[in-house]
A and B are shown apart, each in its own frame.
Chain A
Amino acid sequence: NAGVTQTPKFRILKIGQSMTLQCTQDMNHNYMYWYRQDPGMGLKLIYYSVGAGITDKGEVPNGYNVSRSTTEDFPLRLELAAPSQTSVYFCASKGWRNTEAFFGQGTRLTVV
């Protein structure tokens, strides 16, 4: 059982470039989330989805976009990357009956 899979694990972007962080889960979870973790800090919610076709902003959505065309996939798009987006990004999912969320292994993104 793969759980939550994120790709890539590491990436270096130049300022102004764009990229998509991929997230897929095989647990048929309806809730999916994107968090960012800045050095020495906790996780902050970027975007979330409560089901296919439904997305909404979290605490820190500026500079990001998401889509949820299927239950399994929840990609995070960075447009015009900025140094402030240097962070570790976590995708997570949760089913209706789960108490806790399940996390992917994270993507370390550096914008230079």
Chain B
Amino acid sequence: AQTVTQSQPEMSVQEAETVTLSCTYDTSESDYYLFWYKQPPSRQMILVIRQEAYKQQNATENRFSVNFQKAAKSFSLKISDSQLGDAAMYFCAYRTGRGNNDMRFGAGTRLTVKP
């Protein structure tokens, strides 16, 4: 079964600086997708960024970018120019490309942004 590991329960960053959140996963599949979701205190699950495994180029979305290392099964999230509104729980998730398409989630990293 696929597993997702986030080894940093908590991280903090100074406003305007850069922070990297780590994620590793375990799979024997070649067709899959990876995601970072943000969960603010409102509980809403908000998609931050996605990466298709077949794409070698790392995904970017404005201040958010990923470092996707397929051979190492690593998928880290970099947040540049951190803002107070970035403070939240961040979940790394894996989705298989076949079958029921369900997602497996890591335990999450709580990000604090200091003014």
A4 to B89, CA, bound (A): 21
Q: How many pairs of A and B residues are in contact by the CB < 8 Å rule? A: 53
Does any Cβ of B come within 8 Å of A41's Cβ?
yes
Stretch at the interface among B14-22, B67-75, B80-88, B99-107: B99-107
Total count of chain A residues near the partner, CB < 8 A: 24
Beta-carbon nearest neighbor of B51 in chain A? A99
Contact A43 B105 (CB under 8 A): yes
Beta-carbon nearest neighbor of A50 in chain B? B100
Contact B43 A88 (CB under 8 A): yes
Interface string of A39-73 (1 = CB under 8 A from B): 01111110010100000101000000000000000
A92 to B33, CA, bound (A): 17
A-side interface mostly = strand
Contact A40 B108 (CB under 8 A): yes
Known: A35-B105, A43-B105, A108-B43. 9 other contacts (CB 8 A): A40-B9, A40-B108, A45-B102, A45-B103, A56-B100, A100-B33, A105-B43, A105-B44, A106-B45
Q: Residues of B at under 8 Å CB distance from A?
A: 4, 6, 9, 33, 35, 42-45, 47, 50, 52, 91, 95, 100-108
Q: Which 4 A-B pairs have the closest CB atoms?
A: A42-B105, A103-B45, A106-B43, A43-B105
Pull 21 A–B residue pairs with CB atoms less than 8 Å apart, ordered by A. Answer: A33-B103, A35-B105, A41-B107, A42-B6, A44-B105, A45-B103, A45-B104, A48-B100, A50-B100, A88-B43, A94-B101, A99-B33, A99-B50, A99-B52, A100-B33, A100-B47, A100-B95, A101-B103, A105-B42, A105-B43, A106-B45
